[in-house]
């Protein structure tokens, strides 16, 4: 996507959630996780690259001890439709016997997050708790539902706060949807 195309995409997009709504959702999610994880020491695993912004905003608000790692598995790349799951980076930290808190930006169809969760359980994680910044209401069943959700979004192509459109606009503080 050229800079001009990216600017046009943003200028014609619909604002779905303001930056304040995004901040409030992350804070609420942090409060929920702080309650659920009190007295525990989980391995927090972030799904790159989309969850980088969400993770960066969430981690400083967590009040329990944690270890951190990341995975990079994608069905999208820079495309707007999902394809075959591709593992780019697997966790470097041993997950066997650990409680894993898996963070992702958006639960769309749920295929990627379900596969990552299963991979961690197959590697010996004692449990894998999922938290997503956003759950997209796609109007049909998903193979996985997140344990913790920040926001529910409409079934549109959304971007901002870590989610991209054509590789651009992960850096936005608000959430937008591509004009239909």
Preceding amide of 49 cis, omega within 30: yes
Q: Tell me, what's the pLDDT at 76?
A: 58
Output the pTM of the full model. 0.91
For domain 3-177, give the fold: Rossmann fold (3.40.50)
Q: How does pLDDT run along the chain (180 residues), one tens digit per residue? A: 899 999 999 999 999 999 999 999 999 999 999 999 999 999 999 999 889 999 999 999 999 999 999 999 876 555 555 567 777 888 889 999 999 999 999 999 898 899 999 999 999 999 999 999 999 999 999 999 999 999 999 999 999 999 999 999 999 999 999 998
- The tokens for 61 are 């608000």
DSSP assignment string, 34-103: HHHHTT---EEEEEETTTHHHHHHHGGG--S--EEEEEEEES-TT-SS--S-EEEE--SS--TT-EEEEE
């Amino acid at each position: 996507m050229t800079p001009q195309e990216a600017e046009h995409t943003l200028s014609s997009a619909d604002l779905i959630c303001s930056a304040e709504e995004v901040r409030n959702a992350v804070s609420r999610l942090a409060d929920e996780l702080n309650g659920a994880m009190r007295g525990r020491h989980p391995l927090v695993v972030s799904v790159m690259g989309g969850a980088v912004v969400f993770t960066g905003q969430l981690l400083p608000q967590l009040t329990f001890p944690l270890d951190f790692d990341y995975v990079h598995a994608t069905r999208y790349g820079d495309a707007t439709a999902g394809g075959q799951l591709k593992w780019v980076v697997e966790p470097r930290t041993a997950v066997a016997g650990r409680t894993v808190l898996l963070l992702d930006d958006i639960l769309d169809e749920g295929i990627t997050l379900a596969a990552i969760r299963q991979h961690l359980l197959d590697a010996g994680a004692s449990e894998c708790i999922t938290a997503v910044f956003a759950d997209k209401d796609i109007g049909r069943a998903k193979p996985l539902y997140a344990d913790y959700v920040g926001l529910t979004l409409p079934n549109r192509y959304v971007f901002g706060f870590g989610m991209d459109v054509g590789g651009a606009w992960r850096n936005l503080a608000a959430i937008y949807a591509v004009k239909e």
